[in-house]
Chain A
Amino acid sequence: MKYVPLIWAALRRRKARTVLTSLSIVTAFFLFGVLQGVNVAIKQAVSRMSPARLVVFSRSLGQPMPIAYAARIAAVPGVAAVTGMAFLGGTYQRPSNVQIVMGSDLAQYFKIEPEIKVAPGELAAALQTRTGVIVGRALAQKEGWKIGDRIPLHGLGPAKKDGSSDWVFDIVGLYDMPEQPESATQIFGNYDYINEERGSDQNTSIEFGVGLKDPHQATRVAQRIDELFANSPGQTRTQSERDFLESILRQVGDINYLVNAIVGAVLFTLLFLIANTMAQSVRERIPELAVLKTVGFSDSAVQWLVLAEALLLSLAGAMIGVGLAGLVIPLAGLQVQGSRMHVPHAVFAAAAGAGILLALVSGVPPALRARRLEVAAALAAR
C-alpha cells in the first residue's frame, strides 16, 4: 500500500493521456459487458426452452392453420397435451404500454408448461370466465394489478367482429415462475374468447403447442405430426421449442461468434493502446526510474511498480466499464425471449481476467525496460 502514491503519481504525470486511455478501456469493457449480457440472455433463453415441448407452425411462413388440427395432433401417440394459440396485441392506458395476451386452451397450456405455476382454483376460474386471464406476478406488480381487476386493452391488430378495437379482460389469477420470477411478465387468456371476438382468422391458430408424454420421443412425434398434414394444403413444420428458438437465432447469425469476434477485436485494439501509453510513460520517466534505483529500489521493485501501474490502469478501467454495463443493462430493462438481460458475475470475473491479461501483455515490455535500466547511463543521459 505504501507504494500506491508512487504508482498514482506516475499515472497523474500526464493526466490527459491517462484519462483518455482510461476512457477507452472503460468504453471497451462497457461494450464487453453489454455484449456478454446479450449473449448470456440468449443462452439462458435457449436453455430454458424445453427440448420436450414441440411447436407446430405452418410451412408457409406466417400462415395460420385450422384449429381443427389440434384434435388430430392430440391423437398422435406420445402427445400428452396440445393447444392452439391466438395472440392479441393491445395498448394499456397509453400507446407505449403494449401488452400481449396469449390465448390458448389454458388447461392444456399449463400442462405443456409445467414450470409456470398457477393455483388450481385460479386456473379453474380462468376456464370458467370467458374474459378471464392469468397474469405473471412480475407484470402485475409492475402495472399495479390484482385479482379482480378489469383491464381494458386497445387492440393493435385488425378490428373486432363488432368493428371496435376495445378488448376487456378480467384478472382471475396470477402465475409464478419460481426459477425466474422476473420472467413472469405474460398474460394468458382463453383462445375461445379471442377467437370468437376477432374480426379475421377465426378458427385458426398461428401455432400449436404440444406437450409430450416422453421427452425422448420428441423427434419421432414431430415427424408423425408433420406426416399427418404432409398431403394437405396447410403443411406443418414441427420442432422442439429449443430447436425453434435456435433456428430463429441462427437466422441472425452465430451470435456467440459475433460477440466474441467484436469483443476480441476491441480488446486487441486496446492492447496496443495500453502498450503505447505504458511505453511512452516509461520512456518519459527514465530519469525518474533511475532516481528510484539510485535511492535503493531494486531492479525488480521498479519493474513491479511499472507493472502495477499498467494493472491499475487496465483493471480499474475494466471494472468500471463492466460495472457500468451491469448498472445500465437492468435499467434499460432489455429482454431476450422473456430473459431479462443482466451482466452475470462470471462476466465480471472474465473482465477482471481480461484486464489483468491486457495489463501483463502491455506492461511487461516497458516493465522489463525499467528493470534493465542502467542507473549511471540513465542519469548521464539526463
Chain B
Amino acid sequence: MPLGLEVLRLDRVGKRYPMGDVIVDALVDASFTLREGEAVAILGPSGSGKSTLMHLLGFLDSPSSGEIFFENRPVSSLNESQRARVRAEKIGFVFQAFNLLPRLSVRANVALPLAYHGSPPSDAAERVSRALELVGMTNRAHHKPGELSGGQRQRVAIARALVNEPRILLADEPTGNLDSKTAATILDLFQELNRLGRTIVVVTHSPEIAANFRRQLHVRDGRVTEGGVT
C-alpha cells in the first residue's frame, strides 16, 4: 500500500520532567514521521515513555525540546485553544479506561467532539449514527455507559474518536482493560478501520498486540527506534 501525505512529524523531540529533586528524561531526541494510511504500534514496557509520547502526539502536552509538525505546521506556533480545535477536528483519542462520561447516553458521548468543532457540521446526527454503525453499537445508542460491557464501552469510545473523521486515531492501551477475546475483536476493528484508510497509532506494552500492526516503534528509556515494518 503506497504511503500517503505526512500527518505528524517529530523532529528531535525531548521531554523532561522534574520529579522531586531529579530531572527525568521521559523522551530523548525522538524523530519519526507518521503518514496517512499507516497503522503503527508504539511498543514499550511501562515507564518507557510511551504514554508521554502519546500525549505529545495529541498535543495534550508540549515538548521540552525539538518540534512537532502537524500537517507540516509546527505545533508550538498554536496556542492552547487552537490546539484544542485541532484535537476536536482532526485527532481521535481512545483510552485504556474508555473515558466515557457516565451521565451522558452513548449517542451523546459519541457526539461530544462535534460540540467543540469551530463550525459544527450540519450532518452531526448522521455522523454520530454512521460512527455507531461502524463499531456495531447502533442498537445501544440510548443506553448509559454503565449499562454496557467493557468491550462495548471501548467500541463507543472508538466511535467517539471517529465521529469527527480525524486525520489520525490515537489509542492508548485500548485493550488493556479487556479480556483477550474482546481485545481481539477490538484489534480487528482497528484493522478494519485501517483498511478503510484511517491512520492509526496504538500504544501498547504487549508485543503480541503490536504484531498486529505493520509498523512498530520501540520505546525504551525514552529513546524511540524503528522496529521494522512487517
Report if A and B associate in a common complex.
Answer: no
B interface vs A, CB < 8 Å? none
A interface vs B, CB < 8 Å? none
